[in-house]
């Protein structure tokens, strides 16, 4: 056996004969990469490194954002606590911290904005942007609001400190007991900040619009916590701003700053519905000067009407009043025949002044009109507490029925004369206004909430003869004006109780509105289902109503199953009317069918249709069904249908008519 060759010890062996006698060997030289392959490899390394760095930066900034957002949330909560304790300096400091945190969060978003096009991630990024923008707007508004409130509170504190040094003055000050000069200063301060409040109102609306964009987003928990907090804060801030702003803008007229203002009060009994809110069995005159109630008197409307019962006094009434109430004169008590409160207010003022003049009484100067229903008083009693007058206790639960009984029957039990039977209302109003003027600070949010709800549901309405003030009321939706100039289609169901006692309290109502294409036009049908849930008693009888519907100008009545149909133009709309009687326990449907004007088809052909459903002043909530066949496929609608109804030519909605409701459909 041959001894092996050690190539390491004998390098010459590489060329030895033994090796040469072998088969040729394959030579394996190192592989050299092409320059193109090397570039790809380096690009891959670079891309991986870039992705890692980007992910780190993104995660860092998201973490920074979340931390800043949660810090801002905590600061806002602290600001709220300080504000409730009237520590406005610390409240403002916490808001400034929240501002800083939100700006830090906003600065963290630049790196993630390029990811907005990625699935799910893009939704999160978009939500982050909206949320931060909303937060920035909100804290800016809170900052301005706290500065304003802080200044006012500081001024009041200085005033009160000065007053405390004056002997003989009650130290438990309320707005009512403050000296006139102090009240004037406070009212003027409120008036001076009206522009700031108006700007804050715009900002709040923008913030709400932005926040509403997040409703359908599925956000990570930390982000959702911040959004939830913003959604908690915004409604209360918005409600306060929406109510206080128009009040500040009209404070000189409402409170009589620098000059006496007299307001006509209309008690609109919505258990006996009339087009303008309810039968006006009682009226009042409220005189204000520098925020103080100088005088408030109420009286039975019949008291002044009876003074005009003469052949020499004649005002032609609307047809249903003469036909179904048997009256040949239009009296003040029936003045609110228009469903537009501004029109009813002007008519009421004119008829009242005419009757005073005819009776030889001093004609009252009236600067504005306030109409309100018993529903409003019920809600106010929830805040100010029960009121006892002449041994009779009125609560939020029994107010309407108890008052009706006392002025119709109960007065006899107390030895009160017929002519004086409504004096109890004057005493009630005195106590109620005194309680409201003495309301505690911690109850103010509740008062604001009630007033907002009453305006929204049209249980209170205002009209001012001062054009600028009236514009403020209209803009704030305080005036219950029927303005259909910005919509294509309109519907309003208007009841007028024609001698049916107080039966409206026992009536339930369902409204269905439908349209459909017929040839070259559209036809509509309004069905009003009345359900009488009562019987025969001292306040309830068969329901008799001359019901009207307000529809687009130029509509043509085709059919109604009611009696004594009428059609005429009013307040820029067409008004169809018909009479119907519903017995106790009975359910009956009143139907109006009519041809809509060509403008409706034009709007639908132009791919957008707007409908406004107006709620009658003082009316109870009614169920509302919309069943609209457009003859063409819908693209979008607000409010939206249920998802299982998407994709056809019809729009269907079941809802409640608790306030004016608007619909927009796009094709």
pLDDT tens, position by position, 56-98: 555 455 555 556 666 776 776 777 677 666 676 777 787 778 7
pLDDT digits (tens, 9 = 90+) for 504-528: 999 999 999 999 999 999 999 999 9
CA distance 79 to 148: 15
pLDDT in the model for residue 594? 98
Residues composing the chain: 667
Rounded CA-CA distance 126/220 in Å is 13
Burial profile 546-562: b = 16 or more Cβ within 10 angstroms, e = fewer: bbbbbbbbebebeebeb
**What distance in Å separates the CA atoms of residue 164 and residue 495, rounded to the nearest whole number?**
56
**pLDDT tens across 558-607, in order?**
999 999 999 999 999 999 999 999 999 999 999 999 999 999 999 999 99
Chain segment 633-647, per-residue pLDDT in tens: 999 999 999 888 888
Question: What is the gyration radius of the CA atoms in the chain, in angstroms?
Answer: 37
pLDDT band at 487 (very low <50, low <70, confident <90, very high): very high
Provide the token pair at 603: 């709007």
- Most confident option among 159-168, 248-257, 604-613: 604-613
| More confident position, 370 or 104 | 370
pLDDT surpassing 60 at residue 362: yes
Q: Tell me what the mean pLDDT of segment 163-180 comes to.
A: 55
Closest C-alpha to 248, from 181, 296, 201, 180? 201
Residue 473 in tokens: 């009321």
pLDDT at 3: 43
Q: How confident is the model at residue 2 (pLDDT cuts 50, 70, 90)?
A: very low
Q: Give the three-state DSSP class for 491.
A: strand
- Answer yes or no: is pLDDT of 548 > 80: yes
**Pair 559, 553: CB distance under 8 Å:** no
CB 530 within 8 A of CB 507: yes
Residues 6+ positions from 140 with CB-CB distance below 8 Å: 99, 203
Give the integer Cα–Cα distance in Å for 246 and 68. 36
Q: What secondary structure, in 3-state letters, does 52-117 show?
A: HHHHHHHHHHHHHHHHHHHHHHHHHHHHHHHHHCCCHHHHHHHHHHHHHHHHHHHHCCCCCHHHHH
Q: By the 8 A CB rule, do 316 and 206 touch?
A: no
pLDDT at 438: 80
Q: What is each CA distance from 201 to 41, 133, 189, 194, 204, in whole angstroms?
A: 59, 16, 18, 10, 5
Give me the residue spans of the domains in the chain: 58-249, 261-475, 489-666
| pLDDT of 657 over the 50 cut | yes
Task: Please choose, from the candidates 154, 146, 62, the residue with its C-alpha nearest in 3D space to the C-alpha of residue 109.
Answer: 62
pLDDT bucket at 169, cuts 50 / 70 / 90:
very low
Residue 489, CA distances (Å) to 553, 573, 575, 589, 652 in order: 9, 10, 14, 23, 16
* Distinct helix (H) and strand (E) counts, the chain: 17, 20
- DSSP string of 469-482, one letter each residue: HHHHHHHTT-S---
The domain defined by 261-475 folds into Aminopeptidase (3.40.630)
Least Cα distance to 531 among 504, 551, 557 occurs for 504
Max Cα distance, the chain (Å): 156
User: String of b and e for 306-331 (b: at least 16 CB within 10 Å)?
Assistant: eebeeeeeeeebbebbeebeeeebbb
* Distance, CA of 93 to CA of 114 (rounded, Å): 34
- The sheet carrying 556-560 orders its strands as 556-560, 587-595, 521-532, 507-518, 622-629, 650-657
The DSSP element (H or E) to which 638 belongs, if any, is strand 636-638
Question: Which residue's structure tokens are 């005493």?
Answer: 427
- pLDDT class for 194, splitting at 50, 70, 90? confident
Identify whether the C-beta of residue 387 lies closer than 8 Å to the C-beta of residue 425. no
Residue 482 pLDDT more than 60? yes
Give residue 638's pLDDT: 93
Cβ burial 161-199 (10 Å sphere, 16+ → b, else e):
eebeeeeeeeeebebeebeeebbbbbbebbbebbeebbe
Average of per-residue pLDDT across 375-392: 95
Of 35-39, 349-353, 535-539, least confident by mean pLDDT is: 35-39
Strand 587-595 to 556-560 pairing = antiparallel
Highest mean pLDDT among 93-107, 404-418, 597-611: 597-611
Between residues 338 and 176, the one the model is more confident about: 338
> Do residues 622 and 270 lie in contact, with contact meaning Cβ atoms separated by under 8 Å?
no
Buried b (16+ CB within 10 A) or exposed e, 223-239: beebbebbeebbeebbb
**Mean of the pLDDT values across residues 297-311?**
94
Cβ burial of 12 (10 Å; 0-12, 13-18, 19+) is: exposed
- Asked whether residue 4 carries a pLDDT value surpassing 50, the answer given is no
Please, which pLDDT band fits residue 380 given cuts at 50, 70 and 90?
very high
Which tens digit of pLDDT belongs to each residue from 453-474?
Answer: 999 999 999 999 999 999 999 9
Of residues 142 and 483, the one with the higher pLDDT is: 483
Q: What angle do CA 297, 299, 304 make, to 5 degrees?
A: 125
Give the per-residue pLDDT at 9: 45
Whole-structure pTM value: 0.78
Distance, C-alpha 384 to centroid of its chain? 24
For all residues of the chain together, what is the average pLDDT? 83
């Amino acid at each position: 056996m041959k001894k092996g060759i050690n190539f390491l010890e004998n390098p010459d062996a590489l060329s030895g004969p033994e090796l040469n006698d072998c088969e040729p060997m394959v030579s394996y030289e190192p592989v050299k990469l092409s320059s193109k392959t090397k570039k790809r490899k380096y690009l891959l390394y670079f891309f991986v490194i870039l992705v890692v760095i980007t992910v780190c930066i993104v995660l860092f900034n998201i973490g920074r954002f979340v931390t800043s957002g949660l810090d801002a949330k905590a600061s806002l909560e602290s600001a709220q606590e300080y504000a409730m304790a009237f520590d406005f300096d610390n409240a403002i400091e916490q808001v400034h911290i929240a501002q800083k945190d939100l700006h830090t969060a906003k600065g963290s978003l630049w790196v993630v904005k390029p990811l907005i096009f990625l699935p799910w991630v893009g939704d999160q990024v978009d939500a982050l942007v909206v949320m931060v923008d909303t937060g920035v707007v909100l804290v800016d508004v809170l900052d301005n609001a706290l500065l304003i409130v802080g200044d006012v509170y500081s001024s009041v504190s200085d005033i009160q400190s000065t007053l405390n040094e004056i002997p003989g003055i009650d130290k438990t000050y309320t707005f009512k007991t403050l000296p006139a000069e102090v009240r004037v200063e406070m009212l003027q301060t409120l008036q001076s900040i009206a522009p700031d409040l108006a700007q804050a109102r715009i900002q709040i609306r923008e913030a709400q619009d932005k926040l509403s964009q997040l409703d359908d987003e599925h956000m990570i928990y930390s982000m959702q916590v911040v959004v939830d907090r913003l959604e908690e804060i915004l409604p209360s801030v918005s409600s306060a701003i929406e109510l206080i702003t128009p009040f500040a803008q009209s404070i000189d007229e409402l409170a009589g700053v620098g000059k006496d203002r007299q307001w006509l009060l209309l008690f609109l009994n919505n258990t006996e519905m009339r087009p303008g809110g309810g039968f006006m069995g009682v009226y009042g005159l409220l005189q204000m000067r520098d925020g103080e109630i100088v005088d408030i008197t109420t009286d039975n409307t019949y008291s002044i009407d009876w003074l005009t019962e003469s052949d020499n006094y004649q005002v032609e009434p609307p047809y249903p009043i003469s036909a179904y109430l048997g009256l040949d004169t239009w009296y003040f008590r029936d003045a609110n025949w228009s469903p537009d409160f501004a029109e009813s207010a002007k008519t009421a003022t004119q008829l009242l002044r005419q009757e005073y003049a005819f009776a030889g009484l001093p004609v009252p100067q009236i600067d504005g009109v306030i109409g309100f229903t018993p529903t409003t008083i019920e809600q106010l009693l929830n805040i100010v507490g029960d009121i006892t007058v002449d041994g009779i206790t009125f609560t939020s639960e029994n107010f309407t029925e108890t008052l009706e009984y006392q002025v119709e029957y109960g007065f006899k039990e107390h030895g009160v004369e017929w002519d004086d039977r409504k004096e109890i209302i004057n005493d009630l109003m005195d106590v109620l206004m005194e309680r409201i003027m003495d309301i505690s600070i911690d109850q103010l949010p509740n008062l604001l909430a009630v007033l907002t709800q009453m305006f929204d549901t049209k249980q209170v309405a205002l009209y001012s003869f001062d054009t600028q003030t009236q514009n403020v009321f209209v803009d704030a939706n305080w005036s219950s004006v029927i303005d259909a100039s910005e919509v294509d289609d309109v519907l309003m169901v208007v009841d007028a109780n024609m001698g049916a006692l107080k039966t409206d309290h026992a009536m339930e109502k369902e409204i269905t509105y439908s349209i459909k294409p017929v040839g070259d036009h559209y036809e509509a049908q309004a069905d009003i289902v009345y359900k009488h849930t009562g019987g025969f008693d001292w306040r309830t009888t068969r329901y008799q109503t001359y019901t009207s519907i307000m529809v687009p100008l130029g509509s043509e009545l085709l059919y109604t199953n009611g009696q004594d149909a009428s059609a005429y133009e009013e307040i820029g709309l067409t008004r169809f009317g018909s009479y119907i009687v519903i017995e106790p326990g009975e359910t009956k449907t009143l139907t109006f069918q009519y041809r809509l004007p060509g403008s409706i088809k034009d709007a639908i052909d132009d791919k957008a249709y707007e409908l406004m459903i107006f709620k009658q002043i003082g009316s109870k909530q009614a169920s509302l069904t919309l069943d609209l066949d457009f003859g063409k496929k819908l693209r979008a609608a607000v409010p939206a249908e249920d998802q299982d109804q998407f994709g056809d030519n019809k729009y269907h909605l079941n809802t409640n008519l608790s306030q004016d409701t608007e619909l927009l459909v796009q094709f």
